[in-house]
Amino acid sequence: MQWHSTISDALVRQKIRKQEITLGGNAKLKIYGLLSCGSGKRMNRQNRVFFSTEEEAVAANYRPCGHCLKEQYKAWKANTSCFSRIY
């Protein structure tokens, strides 16, 4: 995970071209999604983090975006709903 506020925009573009960054996330909301997602593009730079893989985002306890990753979000929601019914 890399914070957007710690790297320059030029370095972000370079990492995206090299596919070292493939997903973006909101650190406050703990949500990750595609770099092309409109919701992600509107977030504050101070809250934005970048991930190399979906596994990295999930390991950091981020959930999928309901806008750009609908299938992953539905699967996440179904799994978390099961746990919330137990308690």
* pLDDT, averaged across the chain: 91
Task: Note the pLDDT tens digit of each residue in 38-59.
Answer: 988 889 999 999 999 999 999 9
Domain of residue 40: give its range.
Answer: 2-86
Question: 9-12 long-range contacts, Cβ below 8 Å, gap at least 24?
Answer: 12/50
Q: Domain total for the chain? A: 1
Mean pLDDT over 20-47 rounds to 94
Q: Residue 52 maps to which CATH number?
A: 3.40.10.10
**Confidence band (pLDDT; 50, 70, 90) for 83?**
low
Residue 82 has pLDDT above 70, yes or no: no
Query: What's the rounded Cα separation, in Å, for the pair 13 and 29?
Result: 24
The pTM of this model reads 0.86
pLDDT at 87 (0 to 100): 46
